[in-house]
Amino acid sequence: MKQYLNVVTAYTIMIILIILVGIFQSWSVALSILNYCLISAVMTMGANIQWGYAGLINFGIMGYTALGGLAVVLVSVAPVPQAWKVGGVNMMVCIAIIVGIVFSIRYTLKKIQKSKKRNYVIAGIIIIGFILLRLISGPAIESIEAVEPAKTGFLGGLGMPVLFSWIVGAFFAGGLAYVIGKIALGLRADYLAIATLLIAEIIVSIIKHEDWLARGVKNVIGLKRPVPYEVDLQATPWFINLVEKFNSGKLKLINSVSERQDVLNQLVIDASSVYVKLCMAGLFLTVVIILLIITQKALYSPWGRKMRAIRDNEEAAGAMGKNVVKEHLLIFILGSAVVGIAGAMMVTNDGLFTPGSYRPMRYTFVIWVMVIVGGTGNNFGAILGGFAVWFLWVEAAPIALFLINFFTAHLPETNALKIHLIESAPYFRFLMIGIGLLIIMRYRPQGILPEKIVKQ
């Protein structure tokens, strides 16, 4: 128990902080923070698998997150038959062409010796394939996007339950990671970081601009939910009774019947949003716990020891007969798949898919701060980092506002400096995150909860 003391303390502090938000702001806010904390925790675990276990830098996190979100749209939204009718066949042909291009390139790579001729053949295949794609997809995309552009204008999804999409999201992200890993994992650490960041930008820009796929920047709203809707809850008798029971003391004080009904209605509306968020939190917590159990088991298994050996000394591990390239690829895929799940969870939580809000430059670094602050190579640390940094990210502005008011209390309300500072309060979050990262990097480079190596 003693060795887990710091873990327990750190988590208790975190939970107390969230409860404090609940008391001082509102329970709804506290629960949304908790939900996002849980999502960030999943993302951080994914990044931690890559960086902490294997020492791979993956700055492409937003790309996988966006793919996970895309999976939600493609799985859960009802299909648009009209769009399939006008352009479905062409799009299917396009997919076939892409597969054809990939296979013919692989074939040439295998059959023809490394030479100038091979390069020309490959270039030729790509150019011809590209022209074919443009010719076939062009009119199809136009007609798909013309189908009720205000409401649909895309192919739609499969109409399946949304929870299923979390798994699909993992597969999407893992598949992408396979491709990226195949081509980019040989790069040096900092090159890999930049390459993955740029690939994420490319993916996000494709999702943003290919409207036929998921409406692009026009967003998909009203996605399915694995939990009940607030409106339905407010009309269910058992829920109203439950709220009434909970607040019976408060309601008894009110004498007039109509007034009591009004208060009750308000309470039901508040409670329904809290209830929905609680359900979400329960689902997310399940995912986090399952992942935590799996990753802890993996970390302390022979496989985990092998990964650490590869991380700490690639050459030695290679000399001992471990297939470094294969293991790197595997861990790259696994970590990315976890990030994909987080992406799907995030879209499910929001109920909408907004490709415009995926900004690799902005959030990638925040997630990396989470990993480094929490503790690389320690799953508990990764989760804690996700919680702590997201909490700071959200609550930085109120804290900054409080501090500004505190320190400028003696200045009059019209003081230009005070007004300027209050207006720029939201930007203090960058300052806090940055300084936090710098302090941790300097004085505790292992993170808040450092990696523990159990020696059997």
Partner 1 sequence: MDFLNAIILLLNYTIIPALTYGSQLALGAIFVTLIYGVLRFANFATGDMMSFGTMVAVLLTFYFQSLGVNLGVLPTALLTIPFAIIMMILYMLTIDKFVFSYYRIKKSPPVQLAMVSVGVMFVTQAIIRIIIGPFDRRFLDGEKFILKANEFKEMSGLNEGLTIKSTQAITIVVTIIVVSIMFWFLNKTKTGTSMRAYSNNEDLALLSGIDPKKVVMLTWVIAGVLATVGGVLYGLDKSYKPFVYFNNMLPIFAAAIVGGIGNPFGAFLGGYVVAFGEIFITYAYKKFFTYILPESLEPESLMQLLSTDYKFAVSFSILVIVLLFRPSGIFKGMKL
* Binding-residue total with partner 1 (CB under 8 A): 41
- Is 114 a binder of partner 1 (CB under 8 A)? no
- Taking the C-alpha atoms of residue 35 and residue 338, their distance in angstroms, rounded to an integer, is 17
Give the C-alpha distances (Å, rounded to integers) separating 267 from 171, 216, 239: 41, 38, 11
Interface with partner 1 by CB under 8 A: which range of 42-50, 167-175, 319-327, 363-371?
363-371
Nearest-approach distance from CB 438 to partner 1, in angstroms = 4
Candidates 193, 207, 317, 339; binder of partner 1 (CB under 8 A) is 193
- Is 433 a binder of partner 1 (CB under 8 A)? yes
DSSP 224-244: --SS--HHHHHH-HHHHHHHH
User: What is the per-residue binding string for partner 1 in 55-74, x denoting contact by CB under 8 A?
Assistant: --x-----------------
- Is 370 a binder of partner 1 (CB under 8 A)? no
Spell out a b/e string for 411-439, using b for 16 or more CB atoms within 10 Å of the CB, else e: eeeeeeebeebeeebeebbeebbeebbee
Candidates 191, 246, 402, 407; binder of partner 1 (CB under 8 A) is 191
Nearer to partner 1, 290 or 316 (CB): 316
- Is 369 a binder of partner 1 (CB under 8 A)? yes
CA count, 13 A, side-chain hemisphere, 248:
4
Nearest-approach distance from CB 152 to partner 1, in angstroms = 21
Q: Give the position of tokens 């739609």.
A: 156
- Taking the C-alpha atoms of residue 417 and residue 411, their distance in angstroms, rounded to an integer, is 9
Angle, vertex CA 52, rays to CA 49 and CA 57, nearest 5: 85
Candidates 5, 23, 150, 189; binder of partner 1 (CB under 8 A) is 189
Candidates 365, 411, 444, 446; binder of partner 1 (CB under 8 A) is 365
- Is 54 a binder of partner 1 (CB under 8 A)? no
- Is 368 a binder of partner 1 (CB under 8 A)? yes
Nearest-approach distance from CB 303 to partner 1, in angstroms = 24
- Is 441 a binder of partner 1 (CB under 8 A)? yes
- Is 363 a binder of partner 1 (CB under 8 A)? no
Interface of this chain with partner 1, residues 205 to 234, rule: CB under 8 A: 205-206, 208-209
- Is 300 a binder of partner 1 (CB under 8 A)? no
Can you give the C-alpha Rg of the chain in angstroms?
A: 25
Give the C-alpha distances (Å, rounded to integers) separating 83 from 102, 169, 201, 213, 293: 27, 23, 28, 11, 43
* Positive or negative: CA dihedral 388, 394, 400, 406: negative
Extended strands (E) in 278-338: none
Nearer to partner 1, 61 or 433 (CB): 433
Identify the CA nearest to 252 among candidates 263, 268, 241: 263
Candidates 89, 313, 445, 453; binder of partner 1 (CB under 8 A) is 445
Nearer to partner 1, 195 or 288 (CB): 195
- Is 102 a binder of partner 1 (CB under 8 A)? no
Identify the CA nearest to 377 among candidates 142, 47, 72: 47
Nearest-approach distance from CB 202 to partner 1, in angstroms = 5
Give the CA-trace dihedral at 86, 91, 94, 96, to 10 degrees. Answer: -110
- Is 388 a binder of partner 1 (CB under 8 A)? no
Nearer to partner 1, 185 or 276 (CB): 185
Angle, vertex CA 62, rays to CA 60 and CA 63, nearest 5: 65
Nearer to partner 1, 189 or 231 (CB): 189
Q: Give the position of tokens 């552009």.
A: 149
Q: Give the position of tokens 């007034």.
A: 259
- Taking the C-alpha atoms of residue 267 and residue 301, their distance in angstroms, rounded to an integer, is 50
Nearest-approach distance from CB 265 to partner 1, in angstroms = 41
- Taking the C-alpha atoms of residue 107 and residue 100, their distance in angstroms, rounded to an integer, is 10
- Is 15 a binder of partner 1 (CB under 8 A)? no
Interface of this chain with partner 1, residues 127 to 186, rule: CB under 8 A: 183-184
- Is 325 a binder of partner 1 (CB under 8 A)? no
Nearer to partner 1, 63 or 157 (CB): 63
Neighbours of 337 (CB within 10 A): 24
- Is 289 a binder of partner 1 (CB under 8 A)? no
Query: Residues in the site for partner 1, rule: CB under 8 A?
Result: 57, 183-184, 187-191, 193-195, 197-199, 201-202, 205-206, 208-209, 361, 365, 368-369, 372, 421, 423-424, 427-431, 433-435, 437-438, 441-442, 445
